[in-house]
Amino acid sequence: MLEGIHEQTARMDLVDDLCAVHCICVLDPKTGKAITNPNCQQGMDVAVIGYPAPAMRRLPKGLEVFGPRHFGYELPYQPIEENRQSR
C-alpha cells in the first residue's frame, strides 16, 4: 500500500522504497499516462513505478548529487532491486 509520495521519496508499507537516485515514474492509474511533477497534486490517486538507477548514479559522486542525503533525507541508498528481496 502506498503510504505517501513526496517530491523525492516514496514509501510503501511504511518503508522507504524509492528515492531520487532511482528512476521514478508517476502515472495516472486509470490511463497509464505520465504525471509530471508540476501536475502532481496532494491527494491525487497515482501509480508509482521505480526502475533501478543507472550505473553512473550509483557511483559515490552520483550518490552525492542524486542520492537521498543530497535532498535532506537521512536514508542510506539501497538499490531498488534489493528492497523487495529483503522483506
What is residue 33's predicted lDDT score, i.e. its pLDDT?
95
What is residue 31's predicted lDDT score, i.e. its pLDDT?
94
* Rounded CA separation 61/15 (Å): 25
Q: Is 23 exposed, middle or buried (0-12, 13-18, 19+ CB in 10 A)?
A: middle
What is residue 47's predicted lDDT score, i.e. its pLDDT?
87
What is residue 86's predicted lDDT score, i.e. its pLDDT?
52
* Rounded CA separation 20/32 (Å): 21
What is residue 34's predicted lDDT score, i.e. its pLDDT?
94
Domain ranges across the chain: 2-73
* Rounded CA separation 6/11 (Å): 9
User: pLDDT tens-digit profile of 14-57?
Assistant: 445 677 788 888 899 999 999 998 898 888 888 888 888 899 99
Whether residue 60 has pLDDT greater than 90: yes
What is residue 4's predicted lDDT score, i.e. its pLDDT?
44
pLDDT band, very low/low/confident/very high, at 1 (cuts 50, 70, 90): very low
